[in-house]
Structure 1
Amino acid sequence: MELALKGVPVWLYTKEQGTNKNLAPAQIIEGDLGTTFKLKPQVIDNYVVDHVDGALAGSFTDQMQTVTVYYQQGDVAQIEALTNYQAEIQALTPTYAKPDLKTELPTSLMADTIWPVVKRLATTKGLFWHQLGDSRWILYDRKLMNIKKGPQADDQVLTNQIVNQNKSNAKKNFEHYDWQPQPLKKRGRLISNNSAKQVSVYSKPYGSHKNELMAGLDVLLTQVIHDPSKNDWYAIGSQGWIEGDNVVLFENEGEGLAMAEPLFLTPVLHEKIWGGTALNDVFDLPIPSDTTGEAWIISGHPNGVSPIARGPLAGKTLAEVWQTYPDLFENNDVTRPYPLLVKFLDAHQDLSVQVHPGDEYAAAHNNGELGKTESWYILAAKPGAEIYYGHKAKTSLEFNQMIDQADWEHLLQKVPVHAGDFFYVPAGTLHALGTGVLALETQQSSDVTYRVYDFDRPDQKTGQLRSLHLEDAKNVTTIPFKAESPAQTSLQMGALQETTLVEAPYFNVYKDELDGEAYIVKRAPYTQYTVIAGSGAVIVDGQNYPLELATSFIMPATVAEWTLKGKMTLIMSTPGPQSR
């Protein structure tokens, strides 16, 4: 009997247009390689589908496929994308930020002007809204405007409004906004005249609104279009297009940031009651005490944000750079935090048995924090070392009873570990590193922990037992537990052997073992590296940057290719689909 090969699952996301908020959990659709799939958008109360990014139908392949369905909120009956439509304004017409009368903007459309229209929205109350190419909305009123398809005939007027025959022929002409963009490589600084100090980014000139960037950011402009109405439009890499009035070009490249080098980071050390000295013994890190448990080596989290160690951004933090220079990360939303966090963990004693929430629960109960899915690569383990990974309860009732009765022997599940082991720990997994384990952790950027069992040990500094979070833990723990063990694959690329440890929604983690020289091509918005053994160098544009044990760096989006050289092992990670 011939076994069918499984294709890589298809991920279906359901999000709110404009905010990118998840409206429903992501769906994972599985099937055999080569078989077809057909997805159907969910019905969401008080929402209607706005548009879809990705293919709702296709075949399972050996590559990850993602589909995102965007929804519009409100009393919406229908949304329709429009091509080559225009609004002929006959009298002063108010504009709105959203299809909502409460969002009127201070700018109105003047009489005898023509505006491109890209979207039509009908409400359940019989109102018709039209979105202009610059993202503003107008409410249809036949006394104020005509909405027509151009440039040809009056019989294409959508509103049955008779066109004034005395108007100039020029006013009936409608330009097609499909001009050929010209390549550009110039830096500029975003400016804005609105009170929010934000600059709108569009899918194309006069296209749909994508997101907002903060004024004051320095950006790399990669294309320019000069439209027939003498307006300039600039592309910011893959982020989208901005109007020329929203950017000041630098006279010379020295004014902006021409970042074509790695971002090297300085670790932030944290003391823990379970910590020891291994971070100094193994990595020569300057630990603050003999109970140092964590080194946050790549972090934008406010509880331990990494400073940039050297280069043109030296002295700034990763969080600052993430927001101020979004083009370095292909970051389309500077309001969100840097999404990933990488740590060294020294479990001189058992960590508390704990569980982390997912995004939705963390946002609701922990001041908007991200959830925390994580992973461990075991760097070293003493003989007989174990971790706590999962639990044995079959039902929520059994789980709650075991916790209430402190029946840890029958609840907790232990797993022996050795150097080189890897564990994927999704949110909702009960877990803890055990005594004698040194690990590298790749996780979402979150510091939310619900402590379940702390071995009844007092904090030596306070003399008190640490707080437990049993109700939250009961709410978020996955029951029953089922270990997720991603299949590991290895690929030899010349002198580099790369092992895929996990490719998951929030992050991808790889182990790169190098003995010689390897040419690397960018394959993600940015790439995180940490040297866990040996030494070598990374070469960018002919510049050699030495790499020692425990060196961590980020290769930004502005670097398309680089070379690794030496005899060393690195843990490499990139953002997954939900972290981009």
Structure 2
Amino acid sequence: MADSFKTGNPIWVYYTDIDTGANLRVPQLLRGFVGTPFNIVELKFPNYRFIKADGQLNGSFDMQPHSVHLYYRRNSWGEVQNVAMYLKLSTPTQLFDDVDGMPVDTPLPGGIFVKTFQRIATQKGEFWYEVNADRWLKYDSNTMKDFKELPSDDSLAPKPGTQLAILPLNHLKAVVDYVQGKKLDVYDQPYGQSIGKVIDGERLDIIGKLNDNNGVVWYQAKDLGFINGSYVNLIQ
């Protein structure tokens, strides 16, 4: 059979939020005969702007595996940074389900430290910090102070790993549910020092659980350390 009548390997096309990993539409599967040209176009999505593409946008179908990722960012988001720092809240602080989102949960009490994982600078000049999965707070210099590390002063620094009891668990099976292809920090204690990383999809052997004063669940993985429970799925 001539190559022109052979079906080439299909091409997967992904349209993805570069910051959250969410698909902006169902991944598309392109098919064609070997040698047939293909052309992948940059689509428009409401409230998003195109950032970059990884993969070949134009070419011909062949027998090699291909995938193409087109990445977008929300129009209202400017600078996006992964951070590992702490905010001390001096007054009760409202959490939101997203940047400029809806209020959720009971406000966090004043006088506590929260660890942040991501910082968003919006086009309006605001700073938003992710303090848990789908939980954000808006930075206010009048009511918050940032720290690169927890202060060593006992009067300031919380010690959730020592003040709260760890509930022993009998080797529960779990899996890391983070962002595809990305790694997540593991800590020596909740809000402690990073001592390693686990990758999305990695299997875990859970031997302990801790609920801290901020309402955050932490799981203790055997031979690894503590992982934020928002990124752990227990296997029934």
Instruction: Find the aligned partners of 2:148 and 2:210 in 1 and give their Cα distance.
Output: 19
Q: Give, as a single letter, the amino acid of the residue that structure 1 aligns with 2:23.
A: N
Letter in 2 for 1:47: Y
1:19 Cα deviation from its structure 2 partner: 5.9
Kindly indicate whether residue 219 of structure 2 is the aligned counterpart of residue 233 of structure 1: yes
Q: 1:122-521 to 2 correspondence within 5 Å?
A: 122-150=121-149, 168=155, 170-171=157-158, 184=171, 186=173, 202-203=178-179, 222-224=204-206, 226=208, 231-233=217-219, 242-243=229-230
Distance 2:122 2:84 in 1: 22
5+ long unaligned stretches in structure 1: 1-6, 31-38, 153-164, 174-182, 188-200, 208-220, 236-240, 250-255, 257-580
Q: Is contact 2:173-2:206 (8 Å) kept?
A: no
Partner Cα distance (1:134, 1:233) in 2? 15
Q: Any conservation in 1 of the 2:83–2:117 contact (CA below 8 Å)? A: yes
Q: Give the equivalent residue in structure 2 for 1:84.
A: 84
Query: Any idea what the Cα deviations from partners look like across 1:367-411, whole Å, max 9, x if unmatched?
Result: xxxxxxxxxxxxxxxxxxxxxxxxxxxxxxxxxxxxxxxxxxxxx
Deviation at 1:87, TM superposition (A): 2.0
Shift of 1:125: 1.6
Per-residue CA deviation, residues 8-50 of structure 1 (Å, 9 max, x unaligned), is 5653311355763318x8486x9xxxxxxxx998775621579
Measure how far apart 1:202 and its partner are: 4.1
Deviation at 1:93, TM superposition (A): 0.6
The aligned runs of 1:110-129 (5 Å cut-off) are: 110-129=109-128
Residue 18 to residue 244, structure 1, CA distance change in 2 (3 Å) = closer
Question: Displacement, 1:123?
Answer: 1.8
Give the corresponding residue for 1:93: 93
1:487-566 alignment to 2 at 5 Å? none
Count residues with an aligned counterpart: 178
Please give the per-residue CA displacement for 1:165-222, whole angstroms capped at 9, x wherever unaligned: 977363599xxxxxxxxx95549xxxxxxxxxxxxx5457789xxxxxxxxxxxxx85
Distance 1:143 1:11 in 2: 48
**Partners in 2 of 1:150 and 1:40 — Cα distance?**
45
SS in 1 for 2:119: strand
* TM-aligned CA distance change 1:243 to 1:22, over 3 Å: closer
Conserved? CA contact 1:79–1:121, under 8 Å: yes
Higher strand share: 2
Structure 2 stretches of 5 or more lacking a match? 1-7, 33-39, 57-61, 161-169, 187-202, 222-227
Q: What is the distance in 2 between the residues matched to 1:107 and 1:126?
A: 26
Query: Which residue identity lines up with residue 205 of structure 2 in the other structure?
Result: Q
CA contact (8 A) 1:48 1:76 kept: no
Q: Distance in 1 between matches of 2:15 and 2:158?
A: 41
The two structures have a TM-score, normalised by structure 1, of 0.24
**In 2, Cα distance between equivalents of 1:172 and 1:186:** 28
> What TM-score comes out, normalization by structure 2 length?
0.50
**Matched residue SS, 2:134:** coil
How much has 1:73 moved relative to structure 2?
3.7
One-letter amino acid of the structure 2 residue matched with residue 98 of structure 1: D
Structure that is richer in helix per residue: 1
Using the alignment, how far apart are the partners of 1:186 and 1:63 within structure 2? 37
Q: Determine what percentage of the aligned residue pairs are the same residue.
A: 23
Give 2:24's aligned amino acid.
Answer: K
On the 8 A contact 1:233/1:243 being kept in 2, the answer is: no
RMSD (CA atoms): 5.3
Post-superposition offset of 1:69: 4.6
Q: 1:224·1:232 contact (CA, 8 Å) conserved in 2?
A: no
SS at match of 1:22: coil
> 2:200 maps to what in 1?
none
The runs of at least 4 consecutive aligned structure 1 residues that moved more than 6 Å come to 39-43, 204-207, 227-230, 244-247
Distance 1:114 1:43, change over 3 A: farther
Q: Which has the higher contact order (CA 8 A, sep 6+)?
A: 2
Report if aligned partners of 2:14, 2:70 keep a CA contact under 8 Å in 1. Answer: yes
